[in-house]
Amino acid sequence: MRLLHTSDWHLGRSFHRESLHDAQRTFLDHLVAVVRERRVDAVLVAGDVYDRALPSLEAVGLFDEVLHRLAALGVPTVFISGNHDSARRLGVGAGLIRQAGIHLRTDPDTCAEPVLLADGHGPVAVYGLPYLEPLLVRERFGLARGGHAAVLGAAMERVRADLAARPPGTRAVVLAHAFVTGGAPSDSERDIAVGGVASVPAALFEGVHYAALGHLHGAQTLAPHLRYSGSPLAYSFSEARQRKTMWLVELAADGSVAAERVDCPVPRPLACLRGRLEELLADPELAEHEGSWVQVTLTDPGRPAEPMERLRRRFPHTLQLLFEPAEQPAGPPASYAARVRGRTDLEVAENFVRHVRPGTEPDAGELGWLREGFEQVRTDEDRRQELPR
């Protein structure tokens, strides 16, 4: 059986305020094309369909459109809700939509109710485990305490119990949205540590032939049967070096797995540049990044004038600007009271300018404005003192 494993679409998300609507539409076009051209038997979407519990109308429109297209192809598709999704909202109409071959698994109580598929080698049971927030599902699983490992372990016990009652040779596939120990995170995943330790051991998935994981945004293989597809688009600059793909999984008659990475369209490459402003503006080797989305970390000892404007003249798609001066003062920082003790108001203001512009002294014009400002304050205060009380 040929399965297409994807996850973490985050429909409706932007990239540093840049709209990704068109890029997400292009990805969904690509997904439908892969399903059709590679003769996929079933699609597995392992959570975080949307980026927010209350998705935008544009995001809902994209989801609605891809549901219709997948249903028209007659390819069964299994979705689970992730920690970004509202399980209740994503699952609306699940019973009706199931008649079109689209299976929305958002209710923890249905963990042990598989979507039953079949090929020439027999049945395949696909179990969809939605994101399980420990505080919300412990009681439903009969647990008095425990975090992510406990609730996911309880769900997998139910899966194994159901599988044991099925015909011998039934192959089992599980979709889960979790942080499995050994996975490498990115900056763009939402922390799920609330409710206990975030990570869960890979051993929880013993007894199934393939676990299609979602949550981590980098595609990775924890074991031949245990894989993250990653997100189809980059959602942070920490993902600049990630290759965005889906997994095309071949599930053999004996349950063994062979997997191929299928590349996703790249709307615009990412680049993380570091150095002094003038060097970045002049370096001819950086010409390849002039069309990229760019993050710049400036190491100038003092903050240059209008850095973003100057960078965007060469790199029009500069989205993030960071400052990490290469020359830092040595020794532990003194307290604020110690730094200002015995200094005049004007000296304190001058030092503030030096603090926000390391290595740069206030010029004559700035000193003049500061003196004028303090003199005006003192004049106003003197006038208030002279008013009758």
Per-residue confidence at 383, pLDDT binned at 50, 70, 90?
low
For residue 51, give Cα distances in angstroms to 54, 84, 94. Answer: 8, 6, 20
pLDDT, position 196: 43
Q: What is the CATH number of domain 2-263?
A: 3.60.21.10
Residues 325-346: what's their mean pLDDT? Answer: 66
Distance between CA atoms of 241 and 271, rounded to whole angstroms?
9
Other beta carbons within 10 Å of 165: 8
In this model, does residue 194 exceed pLDDT 70? no
pLDDT, position 195: 39
Distance between CA atoms of 242 and 269, rounded to whole angstroms?
11
List every span in the chain annotated with CATH 3.60.21.10. Answer: 2-263
Which residue in the block uniquely carries the two structure tokens 């409710």? 195
Other beta carbons within 10 Å of 93: 10
In this model, does residue 100 exceed pLDDT 60? yes
In this model, does residue 193 exceed pLDDT 90? no
pLDDT, position 226: 97
In this model, does residue 359 exceed pLDDT 90? no
Residues 120-145: what's their mean pLDDT? Answer: 94
pLDDT digits (tens, 9 = 90+) for 154-171: 999 999 999 999 999 999
Q: What are phi and psi of 18, to 5 degrees?
A: -85, 125
